[in-house]
Structure formats: C-alpha cells, structure tokens
Amino acid sequence: MLPVLAAVAAGGALGSVLRYLATLAVQGWLGRAFPYATLLINVSGSFLMGFLFILTLERLSLDPALRTGLLTGVLGGYTTFSTFSMESLLLLEEGAWLRAGLYVLLSTGLGLLAAWFGASLARQL
C-alpha cells in the first residue's frame, strides 16, 4: 500500500506543477477573458486518461503502483474539475450565461470525445 500512496503523492505533485505551467502558458497566449486554460487542461487530461487507461490495461504491462501514480496522481493533479466548476459558477454569477453554457458544453463534450479518442487510439496499438 505504501508504494502506491507514494506514487500517487509524487504523481499528484508533478501533475499540479504541469497544470500550473500549462495555465500560465495558455493564459499568456490566449488571455483570461474565457477559461481557455482550464478547458485545454481538462480536454487534454481526458484524452490522456482515455489513452493511458487503455494502454496500461490492455497493451502494456505496468507495475500497479506506477499505473496508479500515473492515472490517479499525475492526471488527478493535472486535471481541474473543481476549477472548472468554480469558473462556471463565476461566469453564471456575472450574468455571462452564454459563455458559461458554452464553457460547460465544450468542456464536457470535448472531454468525453477526447477520452473516447484516447481510448480508441490506445486500442489500435
């Protein structure tokens, strides 16, 4: 149990740092008028989850602690569902109903599509 917890903790630290750096990069590139950074992080995280989940389950033999550290730790630290929820709420409270709706639809729709695409790609390997 201890190796799994250590892998999740280390992976979570790495994923959080990656999320922070991705946020800075995307906000520097596209600005802050729309939550582009969180959207990109959630969609890319969904793709990676779909891809790596299937790849490490069906195609690669990976130590269970390493797999859990990668999927739960790194991707759990990287993706930002709680931030997505808060940003959606803030957009609604600002009266930006159209932007809020677009953000929720894009995040969930593209996230599901990315997870499916990642899983499908992993199954083709």
* 27 burial via Cβ count (<10 Å: 0-12, 13-18, 19+): middle
Q: What is the mean pLDDT of the chain?
A: 96
Question: So what's the pLDDT on residue 1?
Answer: 87
Query: pTM for the whole thing?
Result: 0.87
The rounded distance, in Å, linking the Cα atoms of 15 and 76 is 7
Dist. CA 121–CA 125, nearest whole Å: 7
Please compute the mean of the pLDDT values over residues 7-11 and round it to a whole number. Answer: 97
How far apart CA 9 and CA 57 sit, in angstroms, is: 21
Q: What is the pLDDT of residues 37-86, one digit of tens each?
A: 999 999 999 999 999 999 999 999 999 999 999 999 999 999 988 889 99
Q: Are 53 and 72 contacting, i.e. CB atoms less than 8 angstroms apart?
A: no
**pLDDT for the residue numbered 69:** 96
The residue segments making up the domain with residue 112 are 2-124
Percent pLDDT > 70 in the chain is: 100
Domain count, the chain: 1
Phi, psi (5° rounding) for residue 95?
85, 10
Tens digit of each residue's pLDDT (9 = 90 or more) over 14-23: 999 999 999 9
Q: Is 16 exposed, middle or buried (0-12, 13-18, 19+ CB in 10 A)?
A: middle
